């Protein structure tokens, strides 16, 4: 971890006030607002359970684009990112991740019948005429580049519904995001002209199949907050409560984070 820096009182302030502001990007099933305005999702409910055990009863959601989550945290627009963001070395230079709360794979959607016969990122790389839509700031950008997909093949969009729209309009041949998000977006699009590629091969980076591990993220000087969060999260893992929190959002035992840690994923 980072050297402790005790100049921050974010944790004490949150405890005193009984609430904390959290950043989210409206990505179902990780963190989203329901039609009646309630903040929920896998990452939100894990954080809610952890924070309540820490004596912080309420979370106020601050909606922002995915690519603005890290800048927004650093600018103190909110104090925790609860968006299921994957831990990686690059992001870990900017924020302090809690330990992972779930793990997940990637998915691809195409036009009905899969006209280009796309089953992997490598299939996209093999034909430079093909275009794929990805959310700005999302990890899939990196996976695509590492799979040999050209920068000019990647159409970045501000959010996932815009990626689906690009596919519907024929501006791209495919869209990619994590499996649960892709499913949620297809379910809400209700478009029989689109389909999820069921026989999709997970991308490989450095010779091994990638798997994303999502976690809450804190500012670098909020190590005490992060450590206290980790302590309660560990108890939820130990007791099996974590899985119970994840289940309503479609996650199973397969998606538990196991003994993976933020340190391992940060390249430390
Ligand atoms: C939950 C999530 N994970 C990936 C990421 O962290 O970049 C992206 O797929 C965006 N959303």
Ligand 1 pocket: which of 94, 139, 249 to mutate (most atoms within 8 A of CB):
139
Measured in Å, residue 31 CA sits from the centre of ligand 1 at 11
Mean pLDDT of the chain: 96
Regarding the beta carbon of 85 and ligand 1, being less than 6 Å apart is answered yes
Mean pLDDT across 82-103: 98
Measured in Å, residue 85 CA sits from the centre of ligand 1 at 5
pLDDT in tens, 233-254: 999 999 999 999 999 999 999 9
Regarding the beta carbon of 214 and ligand 1, being less than 6 Å apart is answered yes
Tokens of 219: 């500012």
Regarding the beta carbon of 139 and ligand 1, being less than 6 Å apart is answered yes
Residue 1: predicted pLDDT: 43
* 59 pLDDT more than 60: yes
Regarding the beta carbon of 24 and ligand 1, being less than 6 Å apart is answered no
Cα gap 54→22, rounded to integer Å: 15
Regarding the beta carbon of 213 and ligand 1, being less than 6 Å apart is answered no
pLDDT in tens, 122-180: 999 999 999 999 999 999 999 999 999 999 999 999 999 999 999 999 999 999 999 99
Measured in Å, residue 86 CA sits from the centre of ligand 1 at 6
Tokens of 50: 């952890």
Regarding the beta carbon of 49 and ligand 1, being less than 6 Å apart is answered no
Q: Whole-prediction pTM value?
A: 0.96
Check residue 251 and give left, alpha or beta (phi > 0: left; psi -120 to 50: alpha): beta
* 4 pLDDT more than 60: no
Measured in Å, residue 36 CA sits from the centre of ligand 1 at 25
Regarding the beta carbon of 66 and ligand 1, being less than 6 Å apart is answered yes
Measured in Å, residue 159 CA sits from the centre of ligand 1 at 11
Long-range CB contacts (< 8 A, 24+ apart) of 139-145? 139/86, 139/88, 139/212, 140/106, 140/176, 140/177, 142/88, 142/205, 143/106, 143/203, 143/205, 143/210, 144/176, 144/203
Is the ipTM above a cut-off of 0.90? yes
Residue 7: predicted pLDDT: 63
């Amino acid at each position: 971890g980072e050297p402790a820096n005790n100049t921050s009182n974010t944790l004490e302030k949150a405890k005193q006030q009984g609430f904390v502001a959290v950043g989210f990007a409206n990505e179902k099933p990780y963190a989203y607002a329901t039609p009646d305005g309630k903040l929920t999702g896998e990452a939100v409910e894990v954080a809610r359970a952890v924070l309540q055990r820490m004596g912080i009863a309420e979370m106020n959601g601050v909606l922002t684009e995915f690519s603005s989550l890290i800048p927004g945290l650093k600018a103190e627009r909110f104090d925790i990112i609860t968006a299921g963001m994957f831990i990686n070395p690059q992001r870990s230079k900017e924020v302090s991740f809690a330990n992972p709360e779930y793990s997940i794979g990637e998915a691809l959607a195409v036009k009905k019948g899969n006209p280009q016969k796309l089953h992997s990122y490598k299939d996209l790389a093999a034909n430079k005429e093909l275009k794929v839509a990805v959310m700005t700031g999302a990890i899939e950008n990196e996976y695509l580049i590492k799979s040999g997909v050209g920068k000019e093949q990647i159409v970045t969009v501000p959010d996932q519904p815009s990626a689906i729209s690009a596919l519907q309009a024929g501006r791209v041949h495919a869209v990619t995001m994590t499996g649960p998000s892709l499913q949620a977006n297809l379910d809400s699009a209700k478009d029989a002209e689109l389909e999820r590629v069921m026989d999709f091969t997970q991308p490989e980076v450095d010779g091994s199949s990638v798997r994303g591990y999502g976690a809450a993220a804190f500012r670098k000087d909020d190590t005490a907050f992060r450590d206290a969060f980790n302590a309660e999260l560990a108890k939820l893992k130990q007791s099996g409560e974590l899985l119970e929190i994840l289940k309503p959002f479609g996650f199973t035992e397969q998606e538990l984070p196991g003994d993976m840690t933020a340190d391992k994923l940060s390249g430390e």
